[in-house]
Amino acid sequence: MHERPSVEERAVIVQLDFGHDDLAEQLEEVRLLALSAGASICAVVHGRRHSPDAATYAGKGKVGEVAAEVLAHEADLVIFNHELSAGQERNLEQALQCRVIDRTSLILDIFAQRAKSAEGKLQVELAQLEHLSTRLVRGWTHLERQKGGIGLRGPGETQLETDRRLLGIRVKSLKERLVKLERQRGVQRKARGRGELLNVSLVGYTNAGKSTLFNALTHAGVLAADRLFATLDTTTRKLWLAEAGHIVLSDTVGFIRDLPHSLVAAFHATLEATAEADLLLHVVDSASPARDEQVGDVNKVLAEIGAAGVPQLMVLNKLDLTGLPPTVERDEYGTLLRVRVSARRGDGLSLLREALAEVALAKNRNLRQQSSGEADLQDIDMVFDSDGSA
């Protein structure tokens, strides 16, 4: 198995076109992912295919082109911006004589670097082990040998079977520990719920400016950097609104196109807080040419974690890059649709606070109506558009 070097790795990126229109955006995204992981990009190989090759994904001719780039630049790593099977990774490593990883492995590596809390590290390790369980045969030909020696001869089990068994034990242990942490989170959420405060979660595509906005509103000092997945661990703070009092605001992990299902499953406990929020602030990079696609990708992940029905208020961020003025947009019935802000410069934050106060006051009115037994209740969904569409 190829060892990971301790210095910065020189990487060749492979991006194949299967007829998609957003190829340039996908290439820019994988470039940012590679840089976020600490790789130095020395070459990019493009190609067009009708369908993936069963053995090498890229086909024999394209693999030869990639091999030439690896040799010319003395690359340590080849990154496919696609999902590879275990067999395809093994065949590519044999042909290219260097490590080969796919998009999922790249994202998992970034998450492993960024996880800081004990729970975050457990979640990332679980996702990595479940991904590795399908790839134990990749380059591990020596593990097919059976154990031998005095006292160990006989049928026994192969080293590969032993590794699989030990990996299964570790995965079971991690899941049990995460269940305990999830129960603790549930107790904390119930305590916040008893306080009858509006519970708001920031969601959005990675690098849309969620953490910058969170810091601008709460002065929490969360790491905010111009890179993908700068922060992973959920941070929660109380936010004081002059008109409505305190609300609870949480900054969550960013989403991305084709977010690995193993990560979504591992981060279930963290993302569950999003599904139980009263309101989602869907932060969007308004300067991105792929804005609409990113909104769709975020909504797909929200549906996967059971948060599709949670009301959304869209926040179009980065107005400093578009030149548009800050504003609040409503429909013909006065329903909140979206707020345009610049979290970096602070433009429009007062408008966002007013919008949050409006939602919080609506929740308080509903609670008072419920406690007084009034039958005609106005649900919080009436305050803004729940689909969050741009």
Q: Is 225 annotated as a binding residue?
A: no
Residues in the chain: 390
Q: Is 319 annotated as a binding residue?
A: yes
Q: Is 317 annotated as a binding residue?
A: yes
Q: Is 229 annotated as a binding residue?
A: yes
Q: Is 210 annotated as a binding residue?
A: yes
Q: Is 207 annotated as a binding residue?
A: yes
Q: Is 236 annotated as a binding residue?
A: no
Q: Is 233 annotated as a binding residue?
A: yes
Q: Is 19 annotated as a binding residue?
A: no
Kindly state the tokens that stand for 359.
């939602």
Q: Is 134 annotated as a binding residue?
A: no
Q: Is 206 annotated as a binding residue?
A: yes
Which residues neighbour 347 within 8 Å (Cβ) at sequence distance 6 or greater? Answer: 319, 320, 325, 326, 341
Q: Is 190 annotated as a binding residue?
A: no
Q: Is 230 annotated as a binding residue?
A: yes
Q: Is 175 annotated as a binding residue?
A: no
Q: Is 251 annotated as a binding residue?
A: yes
Q: Is 232 annotated as a binding residue?
A: yes
Q: Is 64 annotated as a binding residue?
A: no
Q: Is 254 annotated as a binding residue?
A: yes
Residues of the binding site: 204-211, 229-233, 251-254, 317-320, 342-344
Residues of the binding site for Mg(2+): 211, 231
Residues of the binding site for GTP: 204-211, 229-233, 251-254, 317-320, 342-344
